[in-house]
Structure 1
Amino acid sequence: MSSQQEFHLLPKIINGGIAGIMGVSCVFPLDLVKTRLQNQPIGPNGEKMYSSIFDALKKIIKSEGYFGMYRGSLVNIILITPEKAVKLAGNDYFRYFLTTEDGRLSIPRQMVAGGAAAVFQMFVTTPMELLKIQMQDAGRAVAQAKLEGKTIHRKTSMELAAEMVKTKGILGLYKGLGATGLRDVTFSMIYFPLFAFLNEKGPRREGSIESVFYWAFLSGLCSGAFCAFIVTPLDVIKTRLQAMNVGDTKKRGFLDVVTITLKNEGSRAFFNGGLCRVMVLAPLFGIAQMVYYLGVAERLLSYI
């Protein structure tokens, strides 16, 4: 391990958690729209419940109210703290560990660092996204039932979690773990080296090797946008694996989802919600990286 500079893990973990909370609070409504677009049922004549991002926004607000845009957000906000802490701090730790004595960190090593952080992160991400997606999709099911003159009970996140644990055990919360890992490891192996490259090109804070906050934001924004679009097909598959009431009880695994989607909707379906995903993750990672690089935790810990 390189001894070129000290590495303090605790403040990085705290910064990662704060960054995640602030980021997800800002972009959650768009994440809801993304899930609805990716998982909407297709009618017998190819009709869709939502035709576009703005159509989905309008219909969700009309049927569920403004606060319906934050359906499932509590689970996300609670679990985003450890999720982003592991992702951002883990990447920094593995980068530090893999840096050579002369301060070099090759692109392959940067990719390994990002991928390793994602491997640990996915054990938090999977149950978080499973519950979030099912809460978001439950809102669609309730809205659909309302249009048909029916009434169904809208389950809370605690009810959903308890039901899954009761019927499938604790492992039920890890449905889609493989797909989540494939998506997140791929994303992180591309995102973190790209972010580091862009972030190094900007101005530095006075008396520091760190970039100024707005450059960290722009670097996170651009890197997040590119990587979000690249891995959209993996996100679509993961969403469909984890969602409920998708109108196809035969879906069982990764290859099943791929085969059925190709057969029924064509290859373009793998990019459903792609623009929305970019609109979610670009600002999310921009905000997260900006907060992370502001070093809020260092200031807080200095008073303790």
Structure 2
Amino acid sequence: MATTEAAKFKKTDLIPIPDYKNSHRDTTVATVSPEHDGLHFWQFMISGSIAGMVEHMAMFPIDTIKTRMQILGSCPIKTAGVRQALQSILKTDGPSGLYRGIGAMGLGAGPAHAVYFCVYENCKERFERGHKNNPVAHAAAGVFATVASDAVFTPMDMVKQRLQLGSGSPYKGVFDCVQVVFKEEGFKAFYASYRTTILMNAPFTAVHFATYEAAKRGLMGVGVAPDSAGEERLVVHATAGAAAGALAAAVTTPLDVVKTQLQCQGVCGCDRYVNGSIRDVLRTIVKKDGYRGLFRGWMPRMLFHAPAAAICWSTYEAGKSFFQDLNSDDRSSRMT
């Protein structure tokens, strides 16, 4: 009997023996594996930060023209269209006037877009719940992303727009503007337009992301496969981004006019609003300039957002591709 029992336990093939070496290797790979879409979220942040800075710095002169046009009716700068606004800027401030405030944009765009794309990718993964290409999930993720990023960007956006008023602006530069505004108007002045910005950017981002994802799928479905050459994928991202940016910009122009009025109030002769409510600003604009005043700057706004979105998305996707290849090489080296 004892011999039989001993024989049983000698059948070691019946007893699973863990391979501690391989087990340790698998655990190590799992702890460093990318979290979503083949990337770590810090890699989304870096890609988004670079994309945001490239986008806004490249298109900054158009943004300056748009800001000048939107303060008409309350600020004594008498221009009516894109050409007139450009001529006015060049006449009073020279070519450098087109870039006044770009330092504030540089300080704000990088961190804000890092937060923007990281939150978007995180929320997109959670909201899709295994159902890819869900436009509602894309729109909702975009709304969450803009609420977070605008909290970072709004103060520098206010500084940027006040400096964009040109030589009539009382500020010498970015840090001078921050100091003077904080001293004379308090911290709340930096977030005077935050509510309006959220109300503008929530629908803007919802339309933007839903349109971008849909346009990207559509373009890939008519001839550009997901595994096609990098140049073709770049064209898809740029085209889809341009379409999304133009449509979203057109829809939200009235709220962008309100935002500009709130951020520039009391500067260069612009109106100051007692309670800072959106309704108060809308009434003032309509009273002084009619309903067309709500669409001032729509053309440069679209001229800004269409190429800006194309630049941003193509840069962002290029950054993602770079990190995906890097992570793939890293995983391969760990497995060997």
CA distance in 2, matches of 1:189, 1:16: 18
Counterparts of residues 88-237 of structure 1 (less than 5 Å): 88-101=117-130, 103-137=131-165, 139=166, 141=168, 154-201=171-218, 202=220, 203-204=224-225, 206=227, 212-237=233-258
Which stretch has the larger CA shift, 127-136 or 91-100?
91-100
Partners of 1:220 and 1:286 within 8 A in 2: yes
Partners of 1:40 and 1:49 within 8 A in 2: yes
Name the aligned partner's letter for residue 12 of structure 1: F
Q: What SS does structure 1 have at the residue aligned with 2:147?
A: helix
Residue 271 of structure 1: how far off its partner (Å): 0.4
Partners of 1:36 and 1:140 within 8 A in 2: no
CA distance in 1, matches of 2:287, 2:123: 41
Gaps of 5+ in 1: 143-152
Q: Report the equivalent of 2:100.
A: 71
In the superposition, relative to structure 1, how do residues 115 and 299 fare at CA in structure 2: closer, same or farther (>3 Å)?
Answer: closer
Q: Report the equivalent of 2:299.
A: 275
In the superposition, relative to structure 1, how do residues 255 and 210 fare at CA in structure 2: closer, same or farther (>3 Å)?
Answer: farther
TM-score, reference length from structure 2: 0.78
Name the aligned partner's letter for residue 290 of structure 2: G
In the superposition, relative to structure 1, how do residues 5 and 212 fare at CA in structure 2: closer, same or farther (>3 Å)?
Answer: closer
Name the aligned partner's letter for residue 194 of structure 1: T
CA distance in 2, matches of 1:92, 1:208: 24
Counterparts of residues 23-42 of structure 1 (less than 5 Å): 23-41=55-73
CA distance in 2, matches of 1:190, 1:287: 18
Consecutive aligned runs of 4 or more in structure 1 exceeding 4 Å deviation: 3-7, 207-211, 299-304
Partners of 2:43 and 2:323 within 8 A in 1: yes
Partners of 1:111 and 1:190 within 8 A in 2: yes
Gaps of 5+ in 2: 1-34, 331-336
In the superposition, relative to structure 1, how do residues 93 and 215 fare at CA in structure 2: closer, same or farther (>3 Å)?
Answer: same
Choose 1 or 2 for highest CA Rg.
2
Q: What SS does structure 2 have at the residue aligned with 1:212?
A: helix
In the superposition, relative to structure 1, how do residues 100 and 299 fare at CA in structure 2: closer, same or farther (>3 Å)?
Answer: closer
Q: What SS does structure 2 have at the residue aligned with 1:50?
A: coil
Partners of 2:36 and 2:125 within 8 A in 1: no
Residue 129 of structure 1: how far off its partner (Å): 1.2
Name the aligned partner's letter for residue 106 of structure 1: N
Question: CA offsets, 1:86-125, max 9 Å, x none?
Answer: 2223212211111223x33533222211111111011022
CA distance in 1, matches of 2:136, 2:241: 20
In the superposition, relative to structure 1, how do residues 209 and 109 fare at CA in structure 2: closer, same or farther (>3 Å)?
Answer: farther
Residue 187 of structure 1: how far off its partner (Å): 0.6
Question: CA offsets, 1:209-233, max 9 Å, x none?
Answer: 9970111001000110010010000
In the superposition, relative to structure 1, how do residues 295 and 42 fare at CA in structure 2: closer, same or farther (>3 Å)?
Answer: closer
Q: Report the equivalent of 2:3.
A: none
Question: CA offsets, 1:23-61, max 9 Å, x none?
Answer: 112110010000000002469xxx961121011112211
Partners of 1:210 and 1:293 within 8 A in 2: no
CA distance in 1, matches of 2:136, 2:152: 25
Q: Report the equivalent of 1:247.
A: 270
Q: How many residues of Structure 1 are paired with residues of Structure 2 in the alignment? A: 287
Which stretch has the larger CA shift, 265-274 or 3-12?
3-12
Alpha-carbon RMSD across the aligned residues, in angstroms, is 2.7
Residue 160 of structure 1: how far off its partner (Å): 1.2
Counterparts of residues 277-292 of structure 1 (less than 5 Å): 277-292=301-316
CA distance in 2, matches of 1:183, 1:222: 18
